Amino acid sequence: MTLDRRISVAPMMDWTDRHDRYFLRLISKHAVLYTEMVTTGAVVHGDRERLLGFHASEHPVAVQLGGSDPGQLAESARIAEDLGYDEVNLNVGCPSDRVQSGRFGACLMAEPELVADCVTAMRKVVGVPVTVKTRIGIDDRDSYEELHDFVRIVRDAGCEVFIIHARKAWLKGLSPKQNREIPPLSYETVYRLKQDFPELEIHLNGGVKSLDEAERHLQHVDGVMIGREAYHNPFVMAEVDQRFYGSPAEPLTRHQIIERLTPYIEAHLATGAPLSHISRHILGLFHGQPHGKQWRRYISENAHKKGAGLEVVARALQFVGG
């Protein structure tokens, strides 16, 4: 399957789990969805069903791996392909201290040859695309020349798809949360990469809040990855299929999305799992709508209670006219 990555939803720790991806797939049938970052150690030694299990409806879906050992990454990539993932993505962008201590994430930008070795090792054992998500620089190593060299070296290892978070990462002195706002975004840097590497798929990530913005970026790059906006305001994805993939189908309404999510919630509750595993992902569905705050507040205050079930969602819908 050839992945059409014009629009994708970013891998986001603690957010883009299997329940969130199932929910987002109800909103867009075509956007590529990414898992949270999963470390190679967790893939090789952990509970794979819990960490990597996904619903068949999630396709196209990509797994994001965190690691820097080519052998472990190769084994993890093979496992992911065997489980049915459509793409394996290497995290070269996360700035957290925990990730740095494991020698992966954004700090790998300083070691492009190692990243190239990792890509080579993974490509040898899988048939699905191996892609890299990275930043435009780290700390004081933020010249365009260094970014260009990084992409060139990793390209020569066979990577054909780069997702570029258009903000450099400060690895010292800033928290991951601060790194989402500081320093400023530089979309022009990503555009320039596409000009210099026309043969590659270059995708832009960072700060995109609307489909109008995505359309403007697509005049310069091959794809746009939407992050926090797709989580806090998931209905932003409602017109993706029509605007970017030519789908003739009308977008589902917010109420229709909940209606189609209901059997999934029922099946989840039937296993004895709590409602909050799923409900936390739908809090933003009525973002910006009349009584949307009441929807959010009611679910937030009640979904975590022992024995909470679909009645919580049904009651919340009454605030928004359901």
Give the residue numbers annotated as catalytic, written as ranges: 94
Question: Which single residue is written with the structure tokens 């209606």?
Answer: 259
Q: What is the spatial distance between Cα 121 and Cα 282, in angstroms, rounded to a whole number? A: 38
Q: What is the spatial distance between Cα 140 and Cα 104, in angstroms, rounded to a whole number? A: 18
What is the b/e burial string over 211-229, where b = at least 16 CB atoms within 10 angstroms of the residue's CB? bebbeebbebbbbbbbbeb
**272: phi > 0 → left, psi -120 to 50 → alpha, else beta; which?**
left
Report the length, in residues, of the chain.
322
Q: What is the spatial distance between Cα 190 and Cα 177, in angstroms, rounded to a whole number? A: 22
Q: What is the spatial distance between Cα 28 and Cα 22, in angstroms, rounded to a whole number? A: 10
C-alpha separations of 133 from 37, 91, 118, 165, 179 in Å: 11, 5, 13, 7, 16
- φ, ψ dihedrals at 202, nearest 5°: -115, 125
Q: Which two tokens stand for residue 135?
A: 């930043």
Q: What is the largest CA-CA distance in the chain?
A: 57
Q: What is the spatial distance between Cα 274 and Cα 269, in angstroms, rounded to a whole number? A: 6
Amino acid at 18: R
**167: phi > 0 → left, psi -120 to 50 → alpha, else beta; which?**
beta
Amino acid at 224: V
Residue 3 CA, distance from chain mean position: 15
Q: Which two tokens stand for residue 102?
A: 């494991």
